[in-house]
Amino acid sequence: MTRHFCHWPGCPVEVPPKLWGCRRHWFMLPGEIRAWIWKTYRPGQEITKDPSVEYCEAAAAAQNWIAQNHAHKDASVAAAAIKSVHSQEVTERQGKLF
């Protein structure tokens, strides 16, 4: 089996193939990119290895966003971003997404 890691650059956390990345980094992405990835995700794509073009575009958009917003910031900035996420909202979204 192929091991699958969080798509966040440099993140060593191993996640199930159906998830984009670890929970911490997933919730650091803007809501619209998370919605885009989720909308274009095809159940089973991690088995068939043929994610849709749209999913690849969404994943690329996520990488671009990370490069523009986080690539040159240190870990303390990332931690502050996580704290700013409203916990109630996270709970709600986790119910939907996981």
Measured CA to CA, the distance from residue 34 to residue 17 in angstroms comes to 16
Task: Using the minimum distance from each CB to Zn ion, give the nearer residue, 51 or 70.
Answer: 70
Cβ 26 to Zn ion shortest distance, Å: 8
Task: Using the minimum distance from each CB to Zn ion, give the nearer residue, 8 or 36.
Answer: 8
Q: Where are the alpha helices (DSSP H) in the chain?
A: 23-26, 31-40, 45-48, 53-69, 75-84, 87-97
Q: Mark 25-44 with x for binding to Zn ion (rule: CB under 5 A) and - for no binding.
A: x-------------------
- Using CB under 5 A, pick the residue from 4, 14, 19, 21 that binds Zn ion: 21
Query: What's the burial of 95, exposed, middle or buried (CB within 10 Å: 0-12/13-18/19+)?
Result: exposed
* Count of residues in the chain: 98
How many residues line the site for Zn ion (CB under 5 A)? 7
Task: Using the minimum distance from each CB to Zn ion, give the nearer residue, 21 or 41.
Answer: 21
Q: Look-up: residue for tokens 């996580």?
A: 82
Cβ 8 to Zn ion shortest distance, Å: 4
Which residues form the interface with Zn ion (CB under 5 A)?
A: 6, 8, 11, 13, 21-22, 25
